[in-house]
Amino acid sequence: MKMKSTHLRYEEDAGAYRTEPTLFVNGKRLPSSLSSRARPNQTLLDFLRVECKLTGSKLGCGEGGCGACTVLVSRLSGKGRVVHVAVNACLFPVLAADGCHVTTIEGIGSFKHDGSTLQSNCDRNGEAKEDYLHPIQRAMIDFHGSQCGYCTPGIIMALYGLFADNEPNAKHLEEHLDGNLCRCTGYRPIWDAARSLCGDVEETVGPCGTPCRQCPEREDCTMDCNVRDKAVCSSTASKVNAYQTVLREKHSDDWWKQPTAMFPTELLDEGLQNQLTKPLKVCDDSIHNGGTWYQPTSLLDLLSLIETHNEAGVKLVVGNTEVGIETKFKHAIYSTMIHPSRSIPGLYDVSTPDDFLVIGSCASLSSLQSTCHQLMSDESEARKAKTARPIHDMLRWFASTQIRNVACIGGNLVTASPISDMNPMLASMRGVLTLAKHDRGEVARRQINVSDFFTGYRSVAMHTNEIIECVSVPLLRDRFEYVSPFKQARRREDDISIVTAGMRLSVTVSCGNKWSIDSISLAFGGVAPTTILAQETMAYLTGREFSEASFDGARRVLQDELRMPDDVPGGQPQYRLTLASSFLYKFFLYCAGELVKDVGDSPGKYPPLPVVEDEASSGAAGFISAAKPSITGTQTYPEPMVAAGLESEKYGDVIRSKPMAAVAAKGQSKEDLVGKPATHASGPLHCTGEALYADDIPSSDSLLHGSLILATQCHSTLESIDVSPALQIPGVAGAFTHEDIIKLGGDNRMGPILLDDVAFLQVGEQVGFVGQVLGIVVADSQEIAEKGARAVSTTYSELDGNAIVSIEDAILANSFWTDFRHTIQRGDVDDALKQSEVDGKKLVVVEGSFRSGGQEHFYLEPNSTLAVPSESATNLTIYASTQAPTKTQDFVARVTNTPAARVVVRMKRMGGGFGGKETRSVFSSVACAVAAKLTNRPCRLTMNRDTDMATTGGRHAFLAKYKAGALVADDGSVKLHAFSVQLFNNGGCKFDLTGPVLDRALFHVDNCYMWPNFRAVGTPCRTSQPPHTAFRGFGGPQGMAVTEHVMDHLAQACNVSGDQLRRTNMYTLQDCTPFGMRFGGKFTGKWNVPSMFDCLYSDLDIPGRRAAASEFNKKNKWSKRGIAFTPTKFGIAFTAKFMNQGGALVHLYTDGTVLVSHGGTEMGQGLHTKVCQVAAQAFGIPLDDVYVNDSSTDKVANTIPSAASMSTDLYGMATLDACQKILKRIKVIRESLPADAPLKDVAKKAFFDRIDLTAHGFFAVDDDRCGFDWAMEKPEDFDDTQPENSWKGHPFNYFTQGVAFAEVEIDVLTGNHKTIRADVLVDVGSSINPAIDIGQIEGAYIQGVGWCTTEEVVYADSDHTWIRPRARVFTTGPGTYKIPAFNDVPETFNVSLLEDASNPFAVHSSKAVGEPPFFLGTSVFYAIKDAVKAARTSDDYFEFRMPATSERIRMACGDYISEECIAAGKASSFQPKGSY
């Protein structure tokens, strides 16, 4: 069906309304041909990307939770000042930008080659700027602030907004950089880049008092700080300060004023401003049918419009932060949207008339926060300051800066969210709402208390024709009246509360000369269907003495008043009740402390103050009012060098051979390229928004957009599917199901190992999981395609019983892939564990279980594919965001019945992968290809975030059941003796990579420790979850986490320190693993973990730190610190032997430049950059002369997925192999030319001599260094002096090794935690690029921290019966799933690469780095566990399950408050619910 014109009909209304918005983007006014296409229900992001073709702003989540879409919106305020705010373009309505200037990443600086000069775009006057990049962009590049680059434009624009007309200030940044997520970097380099732009960063100095880098005696100084600093890659302190020089040299002093300088002069024109005062009315008459948008300019007109359109459906829209969610995810339809003009008096104002703080209902939360900050700073107005502070402090943690910049207080109130942060605050502060409506040509008003406004779940005491005009908050008394906000969420920044509260109390002196409570308000959110006042508790406290005893009694009243059923919506009833109780106690401690201040120096005039023990006073503290931390650290690495690695064995001494040293052009640098911290090859493009991803690739006007048809339930049979309702929607071009694959003659079966999956589920087959793909709808726009997919009708017949969701469910139902149950065994474990002593040493045996949860990949770029048919759809070109181009090619060919030779898959770059795009990207590419082939039109399928998370699976959850024993000698020394463990992983409904993931867990469950008797059995479980798949670490972290749990258990049982137990039982060179690998030398290279452990243990003075933490814990009852010291070894190789191969194609051109194509894919890990360094080193040319375009199956065929951290090992060597072939061919030419002849002269002469300047390189890991045959029996002639199980193979080429230290602090009363410090030391061999390797370590570490702390995947299972339907994944976006944010990074974060590390088994002696550091992030988990142990009154060992969410931390502390909130008799065995 052909799409109707997208030009909208703008109704004329006798000149009363403007009918077309006035839009400015990047300094220019948009022509009518563009602005007239803006629709009422269209977001600014969609308009920018689709209509303006500005694709630098990215769609990451569509709900304002990731910040990838951030742009700057600037407007002229009523005071004549230009105001700048960063906004989430994915929520911000395009029509709300009427009369504003929108700046995108493309508008602040661009990357264009002009010879050796990079040019920028021009300013608004058309004159060239002085510099091609904005300082923020330059800093992000230089500080290695981008990896995959997908989040980078949004982060830069967020910084741009914070700097806009604000002289750069580090504290301002730390306070407000809270609306963006990054999955790759670990945030530290971004923090450094941002701080480098601030002039107020203090420079650190050495003990001598002089900054090391400014010291004239630097070269001779032998102090530790200077020796260490010489090797520093990016010290937060020194490099940030040094960057100020770069700023001064390249940019003007007032570069931060650029947003105002760019503000279009036309918008300053009085005539245009007068025109903009007219109301706006836009009607959508396109096929999208987006309703009508009104922008009235007076309150009476606003109320009149609401009254007129009330019955047809009207919505007041200010920031669209809630309405945008309703329309996108709940598919709400509003025929009329009204956006109040800023010219309406009072609606957008915040003022303090008389004795009130008056907040206009449309005032943004940022403006309220800013006003409160100003009031707090005015010491002459004590009452105003006191009233403003709690509101300001709560708003600091309310959503994000981008949301606060547009969200309003009125919208927050009428939304009536039961977990709103501000509603309890306003209720407790006796706020009063003024409601207004239209009444016979006038404005009628009434008032209602905030506490009476909420009548039920998402319902309020407001008529449909009313609006909130303002909120009035009475000022507090200057003394003896206190208000405090409380909040606990899954993550501190940008997260909705689990429980929130606002509490107000005033005290007076009673007739008995005691402090008594004369008024109290206790308002809670998160404990009922709506915001409530705890009336019974308030009544109990009113009139009582202000004392701890009174609050103890009140706590029990509160618990009875707020107790929730076990299946309460939202879950966590015990934790929520515990939080409410803890908040009440915290409030008492806070008020007691404030009362001391109010009494001041006149205690004799007042009654005695309540007694609070010193160690209990820490309970009053919390993160809400605390300053946000500065994130600092150092990153050290050895002196860069080119080391001899595997290439020396293959090609001899190629490092500094004459052929390479002589080919550099005269005047160019001849220094080595390998070993240097070169910036990411795509960094400049990332930072200017010009890096193209799959969803950014331009296509023809005939492009169709796809949306998947998904199953809405599982554990049922698909009975029918009717696509006819979709086909009736204007703009829908087709809807395709399994029947259409049959028409193509394709094979519907899919799967990387077992062909147990399908492209489109066939009618009559069992639905495997909620979200299984049934087909695809394609249409002329994304919006219509999604509407069409929702219109498809499906019917199901349910199967008997319940869906198997958890591992426990699978065990009970015996639902396993039994053919893939594997065992590793050494010695007689059962016999070893039966003994009571061995050789006079006591055998201590422990037994238990351990669970680790799943993890969502949360790559910032959702799966995206562009399928382009050609030659009458007999050929297909697939542009996909995938780690596996060949796998994508294979299944596209199979399902569409197209020869593989006619299917080309191209992959330029991914916005993150982490294993999630190794296999689980393929089904979406196949669906898109099917539609493209059947329509013979280009099709694009870009998944929404919620669809991606619901369908692609993630990290496998694990359950371990173990029994372990250790021998304790008379002198207290302990040696591990035997370990028996059963591992179960939740594979979901299809096999995917579940078996290999479990195998790697078996290979790593020993971690770094020698178990003489060992047995590990792995059983893959089949459930009704989506197919789970590869994720960074690929099962290794889950296995090692079990080991560390067991080591803690044994340490406690043997009464020995965990550090000592770990160190004394580490592998030595005389040992071998249970699977038969030896350590050291020709077997695995250097075994460095023990020496690394000793080095860090000594350098950090771990005993001293533990003693300091212990002393802190003695002094603080409600704050506890914990420490952990964690080692890792990670095997490098695909355990499937055939996968350890890679190819590359190298072209040497006659201008001396080199093009490399290889089988790997770039997902942010810097693979292309490292490969370019290898090639540049080989040819002896500058790095800029080597280029990798994309990964394409028509250049390098039959490739292996970029996974297992093997890509540099494979493709670095394959590239070097090709380079060596070319160098060998041109050797005779080089020798015939002068020694300093540039490579282009050599290449030209070789060309004319008909020498091939193209070579294909290939590398495969040696047969005896990879592969493991689980089924192989022990040969009869096996040499028993060799390690047991070594006959099955040598699964790993070598081990990447590391150790990590972490120190944390927990709030016992809430479960909040912060990481004070982390130190990481990793052996990466001789690094090809230390900056990239350090970036990978930091990113992996923080991703590991997320897995074991804030990232909790939740399913509709027996533990979460409030979620429906059963087996549906609940955590499908940033609103419910919390990866670490900027505030979650260790406050001090130090990363070092091991010195004197070599690796003869990889290119240039390097080591793989992508996955190994991930497990080191669990050092934070075990440090939290250590802190929890310090808080517990019981010495019994406890299973602390992963992840360590705030709930698990709080409830594991086992204090009297939490025990009161758990059912009687169950406190000792209580475990928070989880999905495993």
Which of the residues are catalytic?
Answer: 1411
Closest by CA to 637, choosing from 102, 92, 231, 1060, is 231
Tokens of 1298: 């590391």
Closest by CA to 1050, choosing from 963, 960, 959, is 963
- Phi then psi for residue 345, to 5 deg, are -60, 135
Q: Report which residue type is found at 211.
A: P
CA dihedral 294, 295, 296, 299 (to 10 degrees): 110
793-798 and 1119-1132 beta bridge pairing: unpaired
How many alpha carbons fall within 13 Å on the CB side of residue 1183? 21
CA distances from 595 to 380, 601, 1010, 1117 (A): 20, 12, 58, 21
According to DSSP, the residues that pair with 20 across neighbouring strands are none
Alpha carbon distance 408, 658 (integer Å): 69
Tokens of 874: 């007999």
* Beta carbons of 174 and 628 less than 8 angstroms apart: yes
Tokens of 1452: 């594991």
Q: What secondary structure does DSSP assign to 519-573, as a single string? A: EEEEEEESSSSS-EE-HHHHHHHTTSBSSHHHHHHHHHHHHHHH---TT-TTS-H
Its sign, for the CA torsion 169, 170, 176, 177, is positive
- If you compute the radius of gyration of the chain from its CA atoms, what whole number of angstroms results? 32
Q: Which helix (H) or strand (E) holds 1122?
A: strand 1119-1132
Closest by CA to 42, choosing from 8, 92, 5, 103, is 92
Cα angle at 399 between 505 and 864, to 5 degrees?
160
* Beta carbons of 646 and 1400 less than 8 angstroms apart: yes
CB atoms within 10 A of CB 113: 8
Alpha carbon distance 1195, 906 (integer Å): 10
Residue carrying structure tokens 């999905």: 1475
Three-class SS of 941-990: EECCHHHHHHHCCCECCEEEEEEEEEEECCCCCEEEEEEEEEEEEECCCC
Alpha carbon distance 247, 255 (integer Å): 9
Q: What helix, strand, coil percent values describe the chain, rounded to 5? A: 35, 20, 45
CB contact set of 593 (below 8 Å; sequence gap of 6+): 612, 617, 620
Alpha carbon distance 889, 1199 (integer Å): 10
Alpha carbon distance 774, 716 (integer Å): 14
CB atoms within 10 A of CB 625: 16
Alpha carbon distance 1338, 1326 (integer Å): 18
CA distances from 204 to 14, 138, 207, 209, 491 (A): 67, 24, 10, 9, 31
Three-class SS of 1280-1329: CCCCCCHHHECCCCEEEEEEEEEEEEEECCCCCEEEEEEEEEEECECCCC
- Phi then psi for residue 1157, to 5 deg, are -120, 135
Tokens of 815: 């639902």
Q: Report which residue type is found at 182.
A: C
